[in-house]
Structure 1
């Protein structure tokens, strides 16, 4: 279906948004904001519903990698976002995972937002660092710094087949997702709270997707929005900086690193199609 842009760096013209359109807010914390916008636009265009996207930024963030003036002229503040009636939210990853959560400059602002989402039970997807941050905020789950960066595409060996998020997938490695992070999620040895379930996992990466049945939150430890060459660009960037990094696992087709296996595209489209379908169902029920 069609994706309409309420704002954002990718917005080029004014579009008339149909009435029966899902309103999705995206808190875009990635440094390459326009690329991230385009990734989500591409993914959500594969859903079965029309979607209108609005992009938001934390006011307390001290910008380093992009012009604050540009972002502020194209995005809305989180405080304004909470005043709007969004049908669902997406919170992206952020390049701050090596910092303690409390050291992130916009942490207190995000805490308030996460709490609001939980109280309203609005459907939300937290990705990568945001997933770790939200699980820390809501459950006190810790993260652990890895000795080497985890990068690559990994297939789930365990899935919770009853979950609507996994509709269309079966066993046998059909559910694949890019991972790109320096930290791992640490689950409590005492077990998960009753409302929280691991939806998909892989031995190399641990939980890939978790879902909270009470708050309608989904926690994704990877980057399903990544396009074909995103991992390659990250690897080449880190290598040029002289960092000790491994080539992304299960990604390059040969040792020359000139071709990549875009093996997760179908997974990402279906996963977000399933989530958007859930958001639409909850909107219909809410309006009854």
Structure 2
């Protein structure tokens, strides 16, 4: 089944060239089914690139998905044309009365800035609180994962001495091997990271409402969730394209930052050699499992705020 996106979204042509089944909104309107409604809050500077990455992952489900794009505020973007934002993105005021089956909040290049100093932090907190009563299940990626863990659970973020950048081996925890989100995962797999901060595994293990699903000896915490399945936190970037880490590395070099060479990414760890891409299968499986088991299996057919409150109460009583 396809994902449903606006007819003129730039990602549409890219995904068509990759033989990914998308359905223009004009065609989907004539189908008598209820697609899943998925909202994406895109905080990344290069919004077209990020939305294409996420739409590619969402397209692997057998479910029809109606995707909407959300912007945090109306400030101009240095990396995305105003015409694109005006045409395809909505403001929070426009969607705050809606309910959604799934919600994805992307990372942001804010890893070295205190949350309280981020100019949209108050709005970010409002949207995160709103998601608890208007969304069935939410995925927080990288910076958004740290922001949500701090906001909802009071978990401290620690700055690293050096940026964590590269592709690292991860292990599924023994206690999480039967978790629906990890169905079909290999016990060991690779995933990209690109961040300056971390939330420590020990703090999660000591928190009764959360469970660590996947971690890494070198990269630390990677994937965890709330025990009711309505929030998942991914500290890495399973959505990254093959060249994304290279682009970031070259950007930092040009900025005079003198970054470390990303680990386990280039052949022989040589930036002049091709990159080794070995995270796509797990990234696709992660999002497919999330849609199938934590969105589609939980969401009510009549999606409204009252039904989501009832869903939350049912989860609370079952714990």
State the TM-score, normalizing by the size of structure 2: 0.82
Q: State the shift of 1:158 in Å.
A: 3.8
Q: Which runs of 5+ in 2 are unaligned?
A: 14-23, 308-319
User: For residues 103 and 185 of structure 1, do their structure 2 counterparts lie closer, same or farther at Cα, with a shift above 3 Å needed?
Assistant: same
Q: State the shift of 1:103 in Å.
A: 1.0
Q: State the shift of 1:87 in Å.
A: 0.7
Give 2:26's match in structure 1, choosing from 11, 15, 21.
15
Q: Does 1:48 align with 2:59?
A: no
Q: State the shift of 1:141 in Å.
A: 1.1
Indicate the larger mover: 251-260 or 192-201.
251-260
CA distance in 2 between counterparts of 1:54 and 1:121 reads 13
Where does 1:50-129 land on structure 2 (aligned, <5 Å)?
Answer: 50-59=64-73, 63-68=77-82, 70-120=84-134, 122-129=136-143
Q: State the shift of 1:147 in Å.
A: 1.6
Give 1:271's match in structure 2, choosing from 264, 286, 311.
286
CA distance in 1 between counterparts of 2:126 and 2:35 reads 27
Q: Which has the higher contact order (CA 8 A, sep 6+)?
A: 1
- Report the counterpart of residue 5 of structure 1 in structure 2: 5
Where does 1:1-288 land on structure 2 (aligned, <5 Å)?
Answer: 1-6=1-6, 10=11, 14-17=25-28, 18=31, 19-59=33-73, 63-68=77-82, 70-120=84-134, 122-159=136-173, 160-171=176-187, 173=188, 175-186=189-200, 189=203, 191-214=205-228, 216-254=230-268, 255=270, 257-278=272-293, 279-284=295-300
User: For residues 155 and 183 of structure 1, do their structure 2 counterparts lie closer, same or farther at Cα, with a shift above 3 Å needed?
Assistant: same
- Normalized per residue, the structure richer in helix is 2
CA distance in 1 between counterparts of 2:117 and 2:171 reads 35
User: For residues 232 and 122 of structure 1, do their structure 2 counterparts lie closer, same or farther at Cα, with a shift above 3 Å needed?
Assistant: same
| Residues 201-257 of structure 1: per-residue CA shift (max 9 Å, x gap) | 001121101100236100000111001111111111111222121121111113253
CA distance in 1 between counterparts of 2:95 and 2:224 reads 25
Indicate the larger mover: 29-38 or 183-192.
183-192
Q: Would the aligned equivalents of 1:152 and 1:179 in 2 still touch at CA under 8 Å?
A: yes
CA distance in 2 between counterparts of 1:190 and 1:207 reads 9
Q: Would the aligned equivalents of 1:93 and 1:129 in 2 still touch at CA under 8 Å?
A: yes
User: For residues 243 and 162 of structure 1, do their structure 2 counterparts lie closer, same or farther at Cα, with a shift above 3 Å needed?
Assistant: same
User: For residues 230 and 117 of structure 1, do their structure 2 counterparts lie closer, same or farther at Cα, with a shift above 3 Å needed?
Assistant: same
Q: Would the aligned equivalents of 1:25 and 1:81 in 2 still touch at CA under 8 Å?
A: no
SS at match of 1:242: coil
SS at match of 1:177: strand
How big is the alpha-carbon RMSD for the aligned residues of Structure 1 and Structure 2? 2.4
Q: Would the aligned equivalents of 2:38 and 2:103 in 1 still touch at CA under 8 Å?
A: yes
Q: Would the aligned equivalents of 1:90 and 1:126 in 2 still touch at CA under 8 Å?
A: yes
User: For residues 153 and 256 of structure 1, do their structure 2 counterparts lie closer, same or farther at Cα, with a shift above 3 Å needed?
Assistant: closer
State the TM-score, normalizing by the size of structure 1: 0.90
SS at match of 1:137: helix
